Amino acid sequence: MTPSARIQAAIDLLDAIIASARDGGPAADTLIARYFKERRYAGSRDRRAVRDHVYDAIRRVAERPETGREAMIGLAQERPQIAALFDGSAHAPLPIEPGEVGVSAGAVPGWLRPLLAAPVEQDALLGRAPVDLRVNRLKAAPADAAPMLPEAAPIAGLADGLRLPEGWPVEQSAAWKDGLVEVQDAGSQWIAAACGARPGMTVVDMCAGAGGKTLALAAAMEGQGRLLAADTIRSRLARLEPRAERAGATFIETLLLDQSHEARGLETLQGRADVVLVDAPCSGTGTWRRNPEARWRLTPARLDRLVAEQARILDFAAPLLAPGGVLVYATCALTDREGRDQVNAFLSRHAGWEAEPIDLPVGRRHGAGLLLTPGHDGSDGFYFARLKRGA
């Protein structure tokens, strides 16, 4: 592919990503993979260059553009070397017309900006994320795994945390293949630590997904006790089984719940759990470093639905706790509606519950919980709180 043809390919992909974001379709990574699967002639350098153009254009724009061309022209207005590739040659974009203006740059959609928690450093939300790892204590100690990954650096305050440069192919390493390490953002590791899971406990990961935090809880429990991973989406839970096998965490139980009727599937656990983690569905505003096009998918109406769903999940999760048990509420979101305000609303609805201080050397106290942000903590953005049921 010529450099100009790469720009046109990026424009075509941006058109598809914009439409998918508008219509709730596949994510950008999926669309990019499909695009190149159908174009075998594109070499590795072509794929890398096109992908970089696409993500540079996405990161630059807060509001969803109308077309891929205006997104790329906006980037070209800041980079003359890209503007010169709008030359109208074969497979290239048409020249930029006089007066043709690209979409304006921005980090946060205007409607969302006032809803973010006040301590959030908005300019840091779109930096490129490193590859964070958690050493799996079921199979190795950090002293065993670290020498296998000489480019990895320790993460301050996380005994099992290692950090690799952005884009490092960890899944090709023996340490990952043998289950000695798991890919897990430092923020997620802090949330697992806040749960205080120990051997012999009964622990429920309520919105387990593919099980990243479930595996961290399994390691903290040293494979002893009862650990239940629950979710309403079968395909997500299916991804946990091979991960648990690789990690040596085969004591994990999975439970597929019927959405909107979850309480019925959890009846036998009521009043029995020592710890329940609710890593709730959320806006994902804390993960824009990894998923910048998520900004184009979020709307005020969708945020309203997410806030209502978070409250609903908290309400059916709370009865699972034994007296003195702890519910850890977490979201990878940085809006106060999903974090501080959601916790305050829960405490006002549920008598006999109280927020406990979280003793971790990270984040900032915000309301009843802790706020982690990329700018302050070098992790994805999270809000989490420990809520204790009265004895």
Q: How many CB atoms lie within 10 A of CB 270?
A: 14
Short-list 245, 244, 164, 179, CA closest to 205: 244
Question: Could you read off the pLDDT of 329-338 as tens digits, one per residue?
Answer: 999 999 999 9
Statement: the pTM of the whole predicted model exceeds 0.85: yes
Q: Which residues of 46-60 are buried (b: 16+ CB within 10 A; e: fewer)?
A: bbebbbebbbbbbbb
**Half-sphere exposure of residue 159: CA atoms within 13 angstroms, side-chain side:** 10
The pairing of beta strand 181-183 with beta strand 131-135: antiparallel
Please state, in angstroms and rounded to a whole number, the distance separating the CA atoms of residues 87 and 103.
20
Given 195, 207, 282, 332, which residue is catalytic? 332
Q: Which of 333, 325, 334 is nearest to 353 (CA)?
A: 325
Backbone angles phi, psi at 381, to 5 degrees: -85, 135
Contact 229, 221 (CB under 8 A): no
What pLDDT shows up at residue 41? Answer: 85
Q: Which two tokens stand for residue 331?
A: 């979201």
Question: Of 40-49, 129-138, 272-281, 366-375, where does mean pLDDT reach its minimum?
Answer: 40-49
Q: Does 207 participate in catalysis according to the annotation?
A: no
Q: Which residues contact 134 (CB under 8 A, 6 or more apart)?
A: 158, 160, 161, 162, 181, 182, 184, 189, 216, 219
Contact yes or no for 149/133 (Cβ under 8 A):
yes
Rounded distance between C-alpha atoms, residue 131 and residue 136, angstroms:
16
pLDDT of 167 above 90: no
Whole-number Å distance between alpha carbons of 1 and 344: 55
C-alpha closest to that of 321 among 352, 343, 348: 352
Residue 190 has pLDDT above 90, yes or no: yes
Give the angle subtended at the CA of 32 by the CAs of 28 and 35, to the nearest 5°.
Answer: 140
Question: Cα–Cα distance between 25 and 382 in angstroms, integer?
Answer: 25
Q: Within its chain, how far is the Cα of 170 from the centroid?
A: 18
Residue type for position 336:
D
- Full DSSP string of 47-62: HHHHHHHHHHHHHH-S
pLDDT digits (tens, 9 = 90+) for 205-251: 999 999 999 999 999 999 999 999 999 999 999 999 999 999 999 99
Q: Hey, what amino acid is at 48?
A: R
pLDDT 10s digits, 355-371: 999 999 999 999 999 99
Residue 391 pLDDT class (50, 70, 90 cuts): confident
Handedness of CA 328, 332, 240, 143 (dihedral sign): negative
